[in-house]
Each structure stands twice: as C-alpha cells, then as structure tokens.
Structure 1
Amino acid sequence: MDMLQYNQYLRSIELKRDGIQSFSRYPFCLPIIRSLSSIELHPKVTYIVGENGSGKSTILEAVAAAYGFNPEGGTINFSFSSRDTHSELHNYIKLIKGIRRPKDGFFLRAESFYNLATNVDELEKIDPGLLLAYGGKSLHNQSHGESFFSVFMNRFSGNGLYILDEPEAALSPSRQMAMLSRIHDLVEEHSQFIIATHSPIIMAYPESSIYEIKDNIRLVGYEETEHYQVMKTFMNNKEKILNILIKEEK
C-alpha cells in the first residue's frame, strides 16, 4: 500500500454488516446502506454525491459520530444536543485509521449550523476570547452565509480531519470557489476532507475521489457525475430547457 495512505487520518470506512439484525428499518433500509460494504477514502479529499434522500448525509453523519464528533457539528469537544435526531448507523461503522492522528478536526453541517452558532456564543461566555477562533464576531450577528464561511476560513487551522455536509447550502458561487481555494490551502497543510455536496464547484478539487450514490455507490470521474452533467446541459441549452420547463400558456 502507498505510504501516503498509511499517513492519512482515515483510510477507509466499513459497514459492520454482521451486526445488523434487520435491513428493513431505517437507516439500514436505504438502498445505499443495504449495498454498502466499504469506502476507500482519498488521502486529500473524498466526495460523496447523490440526490436528496440518497443517504449521503446519513453516511457522513455516521462517520463523524463514529470518529467522536458531535452529530450536530463542531469539534470532538462539543457536546451540545438540541434534539437527538441522528441515526444509530455510527454504531455499525468501522473506521480504518492511518498511523497519523490529526491535530485539528471539525464536523461542519449546514442543517444544524444554527445550533452550533448558539453553542459557540454560550461557550464564549464561559471562555472569553473563544470567538477569535471563529472570526471574532458572534456567528448569529452575521448572515447565514457569512457566518458559515467565517467558521470555515477562521476555525480550520490545518493538520486536521474535516467533514463537511452540504457546505454549498449557505454559499454563493463565488464563495464556493473561495472555499475550494481554502480547501487546497488546508490540504497543503496536511489536512484530509470528506465532503457531501450537490455543488459541481465544490466537487471540482482535482486531487480527490468522488463516490456517487444511485442504486449503489460507485467511484466516478468528475464529469461523469449527474450533478455536473445536469448543470452543463442546462447552461449550454438554457433557452431550450426553460421552454420545456416553463411552457407559456397559449
């Protein structure tokens, strides 16, 4: 095996199928979970892409929780919980780790970012100065996109394992491109990313693996992804597609 793979923080994830009593209940009933055995992770960036409801966020959440991150986001040290909604899948995920341990780590998800921002404000009261690591301004005193971007740009310090769930949800296309540049900076500082996304911009990092979920999960090239193909088709045939989607009344 390549030495780079030994040096990465997470080499692969495996589903402990023998311990699952029934694949008829959630989340094991999801087609992706029913067919999942293992996923080899790229030393730099691994993407998991697929339609809404395909199970990509469920897998990402399980990996984060199995590693020790708060299921609602944050670092391993965050323990807040607004509501226990995460699945039990993390109990059936085996993480194959490399020989190095990260010095930093963060689980950043758009879905529960408000709860994360609230917890950061509460921790600032206990530990004044904590907000400096998040840009120096309350995350609630910024727009959703600004605060989300501020965490990514300021809190991530390198030598880390970073798990991002649909980061594009709060970001404009230009901010998504800025995020891609920042991902590269952090990769150069020995970081590893696992990202669930719908964005053809976010998933464009060249040194990466892209897993696409349909009936099963498979490794694909960037231009093979449905997200890229749909976006390219729309941009190249905008008028024709709009005429199909929005038919004028006669």
Structure 2
Amino acid sequence: MPFADHPVRRVTAAKGIRPSTHWPHTIPAVRQLLTDGLELQPGVTFLVGENGTGKSTLVEAIAVAFGLSPEGGSTGARLTTRATESPLADDLLLTRGVGAKRAGFFLRAETMHGFYTYLEQNPGARAEPVFHEMSHGESFLSLINDRFTRQGFYCLDEPESALSFSSSLAVVGVLGRLAESGSQVLCATHSPVIAALPGATILEVGDWGIRKTRWDDLQLVQNWKSYLQAPERYLRHVL
C-alpha cells in the first residue's frame, strides 16, 4: 500500500533491534512482531487472546510509539503517576500513512480513574463531563462518545472491563463509525461482543505468535458458546 493514508501502516523493530532473551521479547507475539513486522490495516483491528499472551503489551507499546501517553488520553495528554509500561515502545518503528492524521487516543481501563482526575486538574477551553460522578461503565461510554470524534488513531485496551452487554454494543457502534469516517482502531479485547464488529481484522495471539483469523474460529467465541449452552459442564470443575 505505497499511498496508504491511514495513521499506522506497519509496525517493525527499530533499527538495530533484534529479539532478545528478556521480557517482553520472550512473548511469542512480540517476538514475531520484532522479527517479521506487523501490517496494520485501515479500519478496526482486534487483538484477541488469553491473559499473558501479549495483546495489551502490544497495544500499549504501539500507542506509546505513536506518541500517546502510556496512562491513557489523547496525543496532548501527559498524565504520569507511576511508570509501569514495558520498554517495548522504544524498540518499535511505526511507518505512517502519507498525510495521515496525527490525532489519537489511548483508552486503558486500569488508568481511567487517574485520567479523569487529570482532566479535572487540567481543564480545557470547553466544559468536560464530570466523569468521577458517573458509574464506571457510564464514564467509559461518556468518554468514548465525547472523545472519539476526530479522525485519527485510537488504541483501546480491554474496554469491556467496565461495560454491560448493551454498553458493549454501544462501543461496537462507535468503533464502526470511526472506521467509516477514516479513523484507524487497534483494540485488545476478551469480548466476543466487541470482536464481532463486521469488517474488522481479527488477530489472535498465543503461543504461536500472531495469526489472522475469523470471529467464528476464535477460541474465545467457541468457549463462550459452549459455556452458555451448558454452564454446568464448566462449573463442576470449579465448585
């Protein structure tokens, strides 16, 4: 795609970087990215996999390499409380689209409370919703509807952690509108609801590294279907 104009066309290892024997390079998905690179398609890309497979590590590193705050927010936010992010962002090189927008936003569940405080302490020209006065799920939806409006690059790390079924569907609608407007989205998720967005690229991460797949073929989807059909088959092993 020599004339692609979406924000991030490709993610590769920075010059001189080779996979090492230290974390997070030891994660198969990270190792594959550093060895082979990763093409990011226009529209929405989901990273799906079990805990510990590297999906959040990849989203965080790509967001930071793009210029977003590791604790969440837009390209202008500089919230810093305690640095817990991996050093992977320094090992990455992003190939940008020609004339692509520089705007972006990183939404991560575990740092949203601090981000709301940051917004209150650094008010902009327009009035902000009072996120701290909302429930966790309400604040998430309000933030997404309020901030996910400009064309750009949006990174989300497990947004479903705060959301009900109906709220997850609302997020699917927002992501669909972003894709239609020319924005690019990279989202790590455990939610079969969110990952079902039509037209999205789905990358499954695991011991094999990173592989493209279909929603119907996701282990996540198969597990949820089996559980909902007969929860007792699973519960007898834990109760």
* Secondary structure of 1:26's aligned partner: coil
* Secondary structure of 1:187's aligned partner: helix
Which residue of structure 1 aligns with residue 226 of structure 2?
A: 233
The one-letter code of the counterpart of 1:38 is G
For 1:17 and 1:10, the matched residues in 2 are separated by 18
How far does residue 29 in structure 1 lie from its aligned partner after superposition?
Answer: 2.1
Q: Percent identity?
A: 36
Cα RMSD over matched residues? 1.8
* Secondary structure of 1:159's aligned partner: coil
Distance 1:212 1:81, change over 3 A: same
* Secondary structure of 2:110's aligned partner: coil
How far does residue 17 in structure 1 lie from its aligned partner after superposition?
Answer: 7.8
Task: Answer with 152-161 or 50-59: which moved more.
Answer: 152-161
For 1:123 and 1:34, the matched residues in 2 are separated by 38
Which residue of structure 2 aligns with residue 73 of structure 1?
A: 72
Does residue 25 of structure 2 align to residue 25 of structure 1? no
Does residue 10 of structure 2 align to residue 12 of structure 1? yes
For 2:60 and 2:175, the matched residues in 1 are separated by 20
Does residue 166 of structure 2 align to residue 174 of structure 1? yes
Does residue 176 of structure 2 align to residue 184 of structure 1? yes
How far does residue 12 in structure 1 lie from its aligned partner after superposition?
Answer: 1.7
Distance 1:19 1:144, change over 3 A: same
1:147-162 residue pairs with structure 2 within 5 A? 147-162=139-154
For 1:104 and 1:68, the matched residues in 2 are separated by 9
User: Number of matched residues?
Assistant: 236
Which residue of structure 2 aligns with residue 205 of structure 1?
A: 197
The one-letter code of the counterpart of 1:35 is Q
Which residue of structure 2 aligns with residue 43 of structure 1?
A: 42
1:56-205 residue pairs with structure 2 within 5 A? 56-102=55-101, 104-124=103-123, 127=124, 129-131=126-128, 137-205=129-197
* Runs of 4+ off more than 4 Å: none
* Secondary structure of 2:84's aligned partner: coil
- Structure number with greater Rg is 1
In structure 2, runs of 5+ residues without a counterpart are: none
* Secondary structure of 2:105's aligned partner: strand
Point out which structure has higher relative CO (alpha carbons under 8 A, 6+ apart).
Answer: 2
Alpha-carbon contact 1:104-1:156 (below 8 Å) kept: no
Alpha-carbon contact 1:47-1:210 (below 8 Å) kept: yes
* Secondary structure of 2:73's aligned partner: coil
Deviations 1:38-67 (A, max 9, x none): 221121011111111111111111101100
